[in-house]
Amino acid sequence: MRNIYTLFGFLLLVAACSPKTTPSSSNYQEDLSVYRPDYVQLKAEQKANREKEEVRKQTTTSTTFPVTNDITTGVENQLAHFAEANAGSNATKYTIQVYSGTSREEANEIKERVYEDFPSGNPKVTYKQPTYRVRVGDFYNRVDAYLTYEKLRRSFRRAIVVPYKVQLGEKKTEGADY
């Protein structure tokens, strides 16, 4: 008896949840020709615009003005003077060292882990006898280096920020030691 009441209640619930549909049919008609573009008129306007543009091009003349105050040589002389004055200067840059040890295999494994964890880090393995070092990034100030250091520190507990000197006026080679 209880199953009958449950079945009856379920059928009542399903019947109550069914949508009530009312049959409706009507023929909808609306004239949209008023809103359609008139292509004949557009073509005529485009042709008129082209003719106006051609007339405008024919009436304008190009004029060139002679250069009287050329400062290029003065600027080049100043740049050469600044480069000569700064030739012996050094700048401090920063990098993050995540590994320092004697195992080449371990250095390469850590380099791969850095690529996985931090794809934009561009890690480099350097060797200065007898030590392999894995360094990440090349930063002009300590604040930028520290932001990356905080991200790397989660995965590499021995990471440190390392400053190094760069000679101004010289280009850094790819294999140079930091």
Q: Is the pLDDT of residue 36 over 80?
A: no
Q: Is residue 143 part of a domain?
A: yes
Structure tokens at 113: 């882990």
CATH number at residue 103: 3.30.70.1070
Asked if residue 122 is part of any domain, the answer here is yes
Compare 95 and 5 and report the one with higher pLDDT.
Answer: 95
Coil, helix or strand for 128?
A: strand
pLDDT-derived band at 125 (thresholds 50, 70, 90) equals: very high
Is 10 within a domain? no
pLDDT at 49 over 60: yes
More confident residue, 23 or 175: 23
Residue 178 has pLDDT above 60, yes or no: no
Residue with tokens 């964890």: 117
pLDDT single digits (tens) 76-118: 999 998 888 877 778 899 999 999 999 999 999 999 999 888 8
What's the mean pLDDT in 145-171? 86
- What is residue 175's predicted lDDT score, i.e. its pLDDT? 44
Q: Is residue 126 part of a domain?
A: yes
Tell me whether residue 148 is in a domain.
yes
The CA distance from 178 to 145, in Å, is 15
Considering only residues 100 and 20, tell me which one the structure prediction assigns the higher pLDDT.
100
Domain count, the chain: 1
Query: Does the model's pTM come out above 0.85?
Result: no
> For all residues of the chain together, what is the average pLDDT?
82
What is the extent of the structural domain holding 161?
90-167
Strand intervals (E) in the chain: 90-101, 123-128, 131-139, 160-167
What is the pLDDT, as a whole number, of residue 172?
53
Q: Is residue 163 part of a domain?
A: yes
pLDDT at 174 over 50: no
In degrees, to the nearest 5, what angle opens at C-alpha 41 toward C-alphas 36 and 42?
80
CB 93 within 8 A of CB 159: no
Whether 111 is covered by a domain: the verdict is yes
Asked whether residue 104 is assigned to any structural domain, the reply reads yes
Q: Give the pLDDT confidence score for residue 62 in this predicted structure.
A: 65
